[in-house]
Structures are given as C-alpha cells and as structure tokens.
Amino acid sequence: MVTHAPLRVVFFGTPDFAVPTLDGLLASRHRVVGVVTQPDRPSGRGHQVTASPVKSLALERGVPVLQPEKMRDEMFLGALRALDADLGVVAAYGRILTDAILAIPRLGMVNVHASLLPRWRGAAPIHRAILAGDTETGVTIMRVVRELDAGPTMATLREPIGPSQTTGDVERILVTRGALLLAEIVERMAEGPVPEEPQPPTGVTYADRITKADSPIFWWRPAGEIHNQVRALNPWPLASTSLDGARLLVVSTEAGAEAAPAGALPGTTLTAHGDRFIVAAGHGTVQLLTVKPEGKRAMAAREFLAGHRVSPGAVLG
C-alpha cells in the first residue's frame, strides 16, 4: 500500500466551532504549519482582551499563529507564503479571504461549513436553520472561492434537527462530525484530486450574523415561530421579553397548538402556577420552561414563579 507524503496545512479559524477540526488535524499524520485567527478582542462583562479558542489551542500545541488586522497586509501575506503550506483549511474564520490568500496553498483551500449548501451560506447557518424551522441540516466540505460559501462541494453529511434542539445542541453534533469528515477529505487530497460538484443555482439562502437585535420576542407571531426563536438563540444571545418593566431572558419553551382564549392579547399570561407559565401568542400558546432574569442565573419556571408573583393577565412585551 502506497502512503503518500503528509500535507503541510495552514488552518484558518476562530471560535469554539473550529476547535475540533483543528484538533483533528493536529492528531493526524499531516502537519499544521500555522494557524490564522482573528485578532484578540475584548469580551465578557469586564471587556478583557482574550485570545480566540483556536489561538489558545494553537499556542498550547506550539503552532505559529498569525492574526492579521487586514487581509491585504503585505507582511501577513509574506508570512503566510513562508509557511509553504500545501493546503489551507477554513472553519468559521469569520472573514472573507482574498484571491491572493486563496492562491497561496498549492492545493488551494477547503472549508468546513455547517449547512447543506447552497442553503444557508454565511455566518450563522445553524441559528438561521432553526429560526426557519428546518428539520434537517448538516456539514458541507467545499472548495473556498471568492464568492461567499459558493465553491464546489467535495462531501456532505446530513443531520436531523429535533423539535427541541437548540443551536448549542446542534453545533456540538456538527463540530464532531464535521471534523471527521474534513479529516477524511484531507487524506483523500493527499492521495490525489478529489471530485468536486458545483453548487446548484437554485435554493440559495443566506445566514446573516446573529446579533442582540434578534433577541426580542414579538408575541404576535405564531407560537411555533417563537419556540424556534428561543431554540435558535440559545446559548447566545437568548430570546428576551419584559415582565413588570424588567427584562426576562427565555432559555427554553414548548409551543402549544391550542388557541388562546378569545380576547387574550398576544403576550398575555394565561397560567402562572406551579411549573406552568403559559403565554398567549399570535396563534397558539407558548409555555416558558426555563427563564433567566437579567443579571441572575437561569431557573425553571416553577422556581421563578415561586419567587416572582405573576398574575394571570400580566402582559409580557
């Protein structure tokens, strides 16, 4: 059996989602010669400057790290060329790569993307899939081209989305499966060309970045859509509403198909007793299972209602 020479790989990635893919490459026979990640940013309540999860792993394993502020910076491009990489691997790097960068690795660059392309190109594919009520997602390994997530695909795996699964739940599954699929493709690329299939021109959708502006719940929407919003925004930024003038984060819910009583305005509390915290939606009802008063820990509805008097008829909004 012929064993082809190991590849020299440069890895582009930033958040937790990218860590298992980098870890898998580091554990493989191939050599990770450098990591490119976004510059350190302030984060957390204290706004302390912290390294990205990918940078932390790279430093721990002694891999050189590049953190360009600008993709066209000549010093960065020179340092990237000096790595003499055969292949570039991208997993949630968070920035568009220039033609100059794409041309540097001998075998080009491949990307690990958390959707079934061409559906949900862009920054937040898992969030947007759940927001839309999709019942299936997956991982696509594709060649990186200048246009956002539009390159030909090399491999795809499919994964169902359960009716109660959150973005965090789905991401934990996809990061593991995606890392294994990427490792398989890298090994195949070491042996020779891997077949590539152009993405179809139909079915293209875009997954815009999630921000805190996506958080507020509009109770006039159907219960199922509100439930999907709560799932999609968990673990961050969490869906939110207000109760008695205070912001209340909603961590988990169930959607009810039954109609609210006639005359009940959307956002009206219908039941607030024991573990039943039920609110009228535009169509159907929503049961709040876990909530988080701003600045406090998350708690089950029973615990919240035991410490906060909520009368039936109280309006959330």
Which tokens hold the place of 118?
């061409």
Across 222-231, average pLDDT: 98
d(CA 42, CA 66): 18
What's the fold here for domain 212-307?
A: Methionyl-tRNA Fmet Formyltransferase; Chain A, domain 2 (3.10.25)
pLDDT digits (tens, 9 = 90+) for 252-292: 999 986 778 888 899 999 999 999 999 999 999 999 999 99
pLDDT value at position 44? 64
Domain map (residue ranges) of the chain: 8-207, 212-307
CATH classification of 8-207, choosing from 3.40.50.170, 3.40.50.200, 3.40.50.720, 3.40.190.10?
A: 3.40.50.170
pLDDT value at position 99? 96
Above 60 in pLDDT, residue 1?
A: no
Above 60 in pLDDT, residue 133?
A: yes
Asked whether the bond before 125 is cis by omega within 30 degrees of 0, the reply is no
Flag whether the pTM goes above 0.85: yes
Report the amino acid identity of residue 294.
E
Report the SS3 class of residue 112.
strand
d(CA 309, CA 300): 15
Residue with tokens 């082809």: 4
Above 70 in pLDDT, residue 146?
A: yes
Across 146-172, average pLDDT: 97
150 φ, ψ (degrees, to nearest 5): -110, 5
